[in-house]
Structure 1
Amino acid sequence: MIQIFLKERASWILFFIFSQLLVMAMGYLDTSIPFLSTVYITFISCLSFVIFMTIRYERETRFFKHLHALESSLDLTAIPEANSPFEAITSERMSEQIQVFKHQLNGLQISLELEKDDMLNWIHEVKTPLTTLQLMIERTEDLALRSQLMYEWLRIHLLLDQQLHQKRIPFIRNDLYIEKTDVQKLLFQEIKLLRQWCMQKRIGFDISLETEEVLTDAKWLGFIIRQLLTNAVKYSEDSDISIRSTSKDGIITLSIEDVGQGIAPRDLSRIFDKGFTGTANHQHHAATGMGLYLVKQVAESLLITFKVDSTVGEGTRFSLIFAKENELIRIARM
């Protein structure tokens, strides 16, 4: 702050130095003025100027030090009290701008809420004809056509489901219901949803669950499993997806492993980033880069951590590590 203050007052300091040099020059050139007296006056003036600048520094920087230390917020009470007319102008303009920003922010929040509600209503409206379409497809006698139609229906269903959960994630804390959840039942539900796609790609499932129940939110865990299974099926073919659960020291781990194309080492640290689709998978134009990003958001709320192991050309294993029960009970009571 001292450097900033000296830079701000550089013109004052230069003018003072110039005036003192002028006084010294007059004392040197004018023989009627004792030069020693001129030096003495200059010394006293410099000492007084230093004291004056020190006092001004303390008074003038107090307001701006407070401003510099402020966190980004719209709290009007956080604006420091003005000690000078210029500081009063600054404080007043800041207050006016904050009021404008608050008004704009409130308007944007209302618009965002309306947009979210409209989107959720639209998704629910679309689900009705989508269910009817599924029943119509199931009555189709041409097996090859039925398989193709079910695959496209499934893509639409999964995209709508992803969009629905994306809109709900910001309010997930209000939607959590922690209970004993049957993992096997959830897995079978999600596999049943993907069965036509799996049959088309000749993919099977090898399931071995040491622990069949976990303490979590069934709906949101189902969303996580759905996204991971969808990715496993998307990047696999003519192979089995292995699903295992283990328990050690009260910590349950659920792993989903495919024998697909794998993830490049340079991509592993970025797979949960929003919009990231992988440097090796750009041929999959249907990828949105949102699935694993949303999974990460949900997992953090459920206190689930991820471990990802992958080898290019050999496959990928996602391990979901659930928190201990006492930690989940704590968030359930929040």
Structure 2
Amino acid sequence: MTMTAYIKEQWEWIASQAGIIILINLILLTSTPLAKTLGEIFYLDLLVISAAVAGYFFHFRRLNKAYAKIRQAMTEGRDMDWLCRESAESAGNNVPGISLSKELLAYQHNGFSRKENDYQQRMNDLNDYLTQTVHDLKVNLSVCEMVVKRLENEPQPETGTMSKLLYQIEQMKFRVNQTLFVARANHYSEDILSENMDLGQVVKEAISVNAEFMITKNISIQNNISPYRLISDKKWIQYIVAQILNNSSKYTAENGEIMISGQEDEQGYHLHLRDNGIGIPPEELGRVFDKGFTGSNGRSSTKSTGMGMYYAKKMANTLGIGLNVRSEQGVYTEFIVSFYKLSDYMQRQRS
């Protein structure tokens, strides 16, 4: 540290002490005869200034030694703990503010650790989803291969065989698209765009994504959604609705029905998607959105990753919309997507 830099850092103290000396001089000069006290005042000023300069000199030298110790620690790759020990052992060479610096670094380290843990969790989630998706795609490809071989041996392929092949291809397309969405979900802060959108049109697009699954099982859809405009991210809303419909198609028997309706109240607009499928056991209802949870239905009736609804809920929370489920086993399952009005949304954010 140079003397010029030191003076710039300590200018407040230097200015305050100079002001004190000037104030004392003014008091002395105005309260005593000038002829008798001028020499004594000058002598007093000399002593005070000399003491102040000496104090600043020793403080400057101590700071230089402390900064030299910090540079040594950085050069040798030492950590903060070593610097604290050295400062404690060197009574006349301790680093000013070392304790506060250590607390600040610990606070910063905790912040980095939280971000690292969150990033690691998201990467683990993505890895689990990709692993399961690749496994499911291999199953779909194996089925496609068997169907193609059967077609090669048939002079006139049956309609049912072609339908099975088309169904497996649509399954693969859906899983690939959902995997792309999941990959984006782990970087959602960079992939969200608020826009004025028509919820009714988004629902129609989500139905189109799942059309082949519905046709294969002859599931009818009663869409009673009227045009309703709101501001949100269109592609993520479509992802959530498409995931719910895909989930319903899995657990609804052939010739089943899915009913889609909307309801507006003082809190916001609520999108209801209800099927007459096998329903969810009461003890499992609270775990539908848990990571990797497939439930007894997923284990027994279909190949389920347990990740689709987990990511749907995750993105709903990110967008600030509600996603809830209610069900009666053997009767129905209903998902409710709630788009809150601004005042109610702000109250939910504060609570």
TM > 0.5 between the two? yes
Could you say which residue in structure 2 is the equivalent of 1:157? 173
Q: 1:312, 1:188 → 2: CA distance?
A: 28
User: Please, which of 258, 261, 264 is the counterpart of residue 275 of structure 2?
Assistant: 258
Deviation at 1:272, TM superposition (A): 0.7
Secondary structure of 1:279's counterpart equals: helix
Q: 2:82, 2:322 → 1: CA distance?
A: 41
Q: 2:320, 2:219 → 1: CA distance?
A: 31
Q: 1:79, 1:287 → 2: CA distance?
A: 53
Could you say which residue in structure 1 is the equivalent of 2:303? 286
Q: Which amino acid aligns with 1:175?
A: D
- What runs of 5+ residues in structure 2 fail to find an aligned partner? 1-78, 100-104, 149-155, 347-351
Q: 1:209 to 1:142 in 2, by over 3 A?
A: same
Q: 1:304, 1:159 → 2: CA distance?
A: 24
User: Please, which of 208, 228, 238 is the counterpart of residue 224 of structure 2?
Assistant: 208
Deviation at 1:326, TM superposition (A): 6.7
1:169 aligns with 2:208: no
Q: Which amino acid aligns with 1:191?
A: I
Q: How does 1:29-48 map to 2 (within 5 A)?
A: none
Deviation at 1:260, TM superposition (A): 0.4
User: Please, which of 224, 229, 236 is the counterpart of residue 240 of structure 2?
Assistant: 224
Q: 1:78, 1:208 → 2: CA distance?
A: 66
Deviation at 1:171, TM superposition (A): 1.6
Secondary structure of 1:225's counterpart equals: helix
Conservation of the 8 A alpha-carbon contact between 2:201 and 2:227: no
Q: How does 1:306-321 map to 2 (within 5 A)?
A: 306-321=323-338
Q: 1:156 to 1:249 in 2, by over 3 A?
A: same
Q: Which amino acid aligns with 1:216?
A: S
Conservation of the 8 A alpha-carbon contact between 1:242 and 1:257: yes
Conservation of the 8 A alpha-carbon contact between 1:264 and 1:311: yes
Deviation at 1:184, TM superposition (A): 2.0
Deviation at 1:141, TM superposition (A): 7.4
1:303 aligns with 2:303: no
Q: 1:300, 1:78 → 2: CA distance?
A: 41
Q: Which amino acid aligns with 2:327?
A: S
Deviation at 1:78, TM superposition (A): 10
Q: 1:319, 1:305 → 2: CA distance?
A: 8
Q: Which amino acid aligns with 1:223?
A: Y
Deviation at 1:254, TM superposition (A): 0.3
Q: 1:156 to 1:252 in 2, by over 3 A?
A: same
Conservation of the 8 A alpha-carbon contact between 2:225 and 2:262: yes
Q: 1:257, 1:247 → 2: CA distance?
A: 17
Deviation at 1:142, TM superposition (A): 4.6
Conservation of the 8 A alpha-carbon contact between 2:279 and 2:333: yes
Could you say which residue in structure 2 is the equivalent of 1:187? 203
Conservation of the 8 A alpha-carbon contact between 1:178 and 1:328: no
Conservation of the 8 A alpha-carbon contact between 1:211 and 1:246: no
Q: How does 1:59-138 map to 2 (within 5 A)?
A: 81-82=84-85
How many residues end up aligned between the 2 structures? 221
Which one has the largest radius of gyration?
2
CA deviations over 1:185-209 (Å, ceiling 9, x no partner): 2222222232222122111111112
Could you say which residue in structure 2 is the equivalent of 1:21? none
- What runs of 5+ residues in structure 1 fail to find an aligned partner? 1-75, 330-334
Deviation at 1:80, TM superposition (A): 9.5
User: Please, which of 290, 297, 300 is the counterpart of residue 273 of structure 1?
Assistant: 290
CA deviations over 1:237-281 (Å, ceiling 9, x no partner): 222100011111250100100000001111111111111000343
Q: 1:165 to 1:216 in 2, by over 3 A?
A: same
Give the fraction of aligned pairs with identical amino acids, expressed as a percent: 27
Q: Which amino acid aligns with 2:182?
A: Q
Secondary structure of 1:224's counterpart equals: helix
CA deviations over 1:39-91 (Å, ceiling 9, x no partner): xxxxxxxxxxxxxxxxxxxxxxxxxxxxxxxxxxxxx7799944756xx9xx9
Q: 2:301, 2:288 → 1: CA distance?
A: 15
Q: 1:253, 1:180 → 2: CA distance?
A: 17
Q: 2:162, 2:330 → 1: CA distance?
A: 31
Q: How does 1:234-249 map to 2 (within 5 A)?
A: 234-237=250-253, 238-249=255-266
Structure 2 length-normalised TM = 0.54
Conservation of the 8 A alpha-carbon contact between 2:209 and 2:242: no
